A and B are shown apart, each in its own frame.
Chain A
Amino acid sequence: MADHEELRRLLQDALGVESVTDLTRLSGGASRETWRFVADGNSRVVQRQRAGDERDMMIEAATVDAASRAGVPVPELLRAESSPSGSFMILDAIDGETIARKILRDADFVDARAALPTQLGRALAAIHAMSSDAVDGLPEADPIAFYTDVLDSLGQPYPMLELVRRWLLEHRPTTGATTIVHGDFRLGNLIVGPNGLRAVIDWELAHVGDPMEDLGWLCVKAWRFGQSPPVAGIGEYEELFAAYAEASGITVDADVVRWWEVLGTWKWAVMCILQASAHLSGAVRSHELAAIGRRVCENEHDLFLALEGRW
């Protein structure tokens, strides 16, 4: 309760409101947590980052703000503060569903599923219309080099991931454009209502790079959550590409998106190894994290599928 009281006061001061009630924790990880609350009758969300996290929440807040101005559906940013005890940002709360399984299977989302492939294409076009210098301080890194370093730091050999790494290096597309990239655009990070997309959230992995990265990541098999259609488990490539092209004026090269899909599947494998290592190193003892380590072979299988006829 002491924690609640401290947070309540912090929110009250930050927003300059009379009352903060109904504080409910939505999720929490090792480095950040998300709470929903009501401030003077309005539903809000606060994301808190613990001290010591390397990522700068002020950059994320600036990105959400820039995205809003660029016409991307995002929750309105109300306040962002950085302090030695940890940063936080307060956003308008948007009702809707984020759980992929429900969006993909529940009858409530039949119309949403029909509308989403086109809406996702348009939202991505709006994100990528932001120029790479629209937000100061966004990182720009070579994903192959970055995740190779992560893999090497974990010290376990994965021959299949080495083979795919070589394919990625040899087939790397020439970057057509450099824009702001969301970095984790998929079900789970999208608020969906009965009519489809309401907001794009979780901008913490936003960076500067090839916009096709976001399209490829959205098609990674893990983000189809067991469904067959390639785009988020909902739509066909052509639907996404057509909506994106219409909104952005940029014709999508399917081979380039496929390269990013392979990169994304490879990257997700490294992230699974990283999660299991958090358990193995003792940082976070968790049987759930341990189990994720054995999902790497699913990614390896997916890589064979994605590369069939392309080696």
Chain B
Amino acid sequence: MVNPHGAPGAIELVEAVREWIERDVMATSEGRLRFHARVATNMLAMVEREIELGESHAVAHAERLATLGVADDHEFAAAIRAGDLDDRLDEVRTLLRATVDDKLAVANPGYVDD
């Protein structure tokens, strides 16, 4: 895949905004605004990680769902609720553990060590 957009790419653009908030907005704000700026930088860092890891996570998740014979998370959730996967719950847990690890790797990689 050749990206026609040139530099800076999506990650660099988001990174640049995040660095500006950290450098200029957070340094000169306090209270509620500073807190909301911190939330915003966390969200932008999350987007950077999702751009980087999202594609490989999607491939891995699709493989996990295929193993269980379900098309998507809607089918997966419905199958668990209906009891259709009751004889494969060990497998379901192992696969879900991997999915939750991927979600944390994007949303908040520091959480596991907290």
Contacts and interface: CB of A to CB of B under 8 A. Distances in A.
Do these two chains interact?
A: yes
Interface of A: 157-163, 165-166, 226, 287-288, 290-291, 294-298, 300-301, 304, 311
B108 A159 contact: no
Given A166-B81, A290-B43, A301-B111, A159 B104 contact: no
Given A159-B92, A301-B100, A304-B100, 12 more contacts: A157-B77, A159-B96, A160-B100, A163-B80, A163-B93, A288-B36, A288-B39, A294-B106, A297-B103, A301-B111, A301-B112, A311-B93
Contacts of A161: 77
B107 A158 contact: no
B13 to A, nearest CB: 18
Contact of A157 (B73, B89, B93): B73
Nearest to B105: A297
Given A297-B107, A298-B111, A301-B111, A160 B42 contact: no
Contact of B92 (A163, A288, A291, A296): A163
Interface residues of B, number: 30
Given A288-B36, A295-B108, A160 B43 contact: no
Given A159-B73, A162-B81, A287 B97 contact: no
B111 A294 contact: no
- Of A226, A287, A301, A311, chain B has the most CB atoms within 10 Å of the CB of A301
B4 to A, nearest CB: 30
17 contacts: A157-B72, A157-B78, A159-B77, A160-B99, A161-B77, A162-B80, A163-B89, A166-B81, A287-B40, A294-B106, A297-B100, A297-B103, A297-B107, A297-B108, A298-B104, A298-B111, A311-B93
A115 B93 CA distance: 40
Contacts of A162: 77, 80-81
A159 B98 CA distance: 13
Interface of A is mostly: helix
Interface of B: 36, 39-40, 42-43, 46, 72-74, 76-78, 80-81, 83, 89, 92-93, 96-97, 99-100, 103-104, 106-108, 111-112, 114
B114 A226 contact: yes
A163 B96 contact: yes
A149 to B, nearest CB: 13
Contacts of A296: 103
A295 B42 CA distance: 12
The 9 closest A-B pairs by CB, nearest first: A297-B103, A157-B77, A162-B80, A157-B73, A294-B107, A159-B76, A157-B74, A300-B100, A162-B77
Contacts of A291: 39, 42-43, 46
B97 to A, nearest CB: 6
Nearest to B50: A294
A81 to B, nearest CB: 31
Given A287-B40, A294-B46, A298-B107, A165 B81 contact: yes
A304 B103 CA distance: 14
Contacts of A166: 80-81, 83
Given A287-B40, A291-B42, A297 B77 contact: no
